[in-house]
Amino acid sequence: MSELLKSLQEAILTIDEETALSATQELLDSGMEPEEILESGMTGALLELGRRWNCGEAFLPEVVAAAGIFERCSAIVEPALLAKGDRKVSDKAVIATVKGDLHDLGKNIVGAMLKTVGLEVHDLGKNVPTEKIIEAVKELEPKIIGLSALLTTTMPEQENVIKALEEAGLRSGVKVMVGGAPVTQEWADRIGADGYAPNAPEAVRVALALTQVAA
């Protein structure tokens, strides 16, 4: 990996926005393919962030700040991608905190990170009724939806959304991911979700895997 790519990753991880932005610009100027900057540079940093999160090394403020830097770095790369003209229309992701739940910190972080890996993210907000999610799926035809629930009492809403998708005949066209503190892989399997992640960086990895399968 080039020194510059390394310094981009390091800058993201140490929340050094200035260096991260200038490294991104320099990489572009040096002629590196924009996809490569996104995939090797930023996704690499994302994976490392996930590792640090799991062992407690990184914490919420760092992850939120890193997500912000990700967003602004990808904004620098974006015009180059478009200019190349061979950028395929982005896959769409719809994310929401389910009905009855007002916790949106985790969902917001996932949203910011999904944008950086090239997904077009539609964030429906928090306390979102199932009907609104179904409407959004009909209208936007996303590849993937992410449902967050932070309370044991609102987890069943994730299942309700999946059932409603089935009833509306939309289930086969979309991948469903679930997350939130009380959510487990076991729960995800039980309600028939396609993916689960215990933290934001991992969610991005799972989302990418699911959209690529779906592509």
CB of 4 to another protein, least distance (A): 27
> Smaller CB distance to another protein: residue 148 or 154?
154
Contacts 24+ apart (CB under 8 A), 10-18: 11/69, 12/42, 12/45, 12/49, 12/66, 12/69, 12/70, 12/73, 13/45, 13/48, 13/49, 13/52, 13/58, 13/66, 15/62, 15/65, 15/66, 15/69, 17/65, 17/68, 17/69, 17/72
Site string for another protein, 25-64 (x = CB under 8 A): -----------------------------xxxx-xxx--x
Q: Interior CA angle at 214 toward 213 and 215, to 5°?
A: 95
> Smaller CB distance to another protein: residue 87 or 132?
132
Residues 80-119 touching another protein, rule: CB under 8 A, are 99-105, 108
| Interface pick for another protein out of 76, 155, 208, 210 (rule CB under 8 A) | 155
Distance CA 117, CA 154 (A): 29
Q: Does 185 bind another protein (CB under 8 A)?
A: yes
> Smaller CB distance to another protein: residue 52 or 171?
52
CB of 14 to another protein, least distance (A): 12
| Interface pick for another protein out of 44, 68, 129, 156 (rule CB under 8 A) | 156
| Interface pick for another protein out of 138, 152, 166, 167 (rule CB under 8 A) | 152
Torsion 25-31-32-35 (CA) sign: positive
In the complex, which residues of this chain contact another protein (CB under 8 A)? 54-57, 59-61, 64, 99-105, 108, 127, 151-156, 182, 184-186
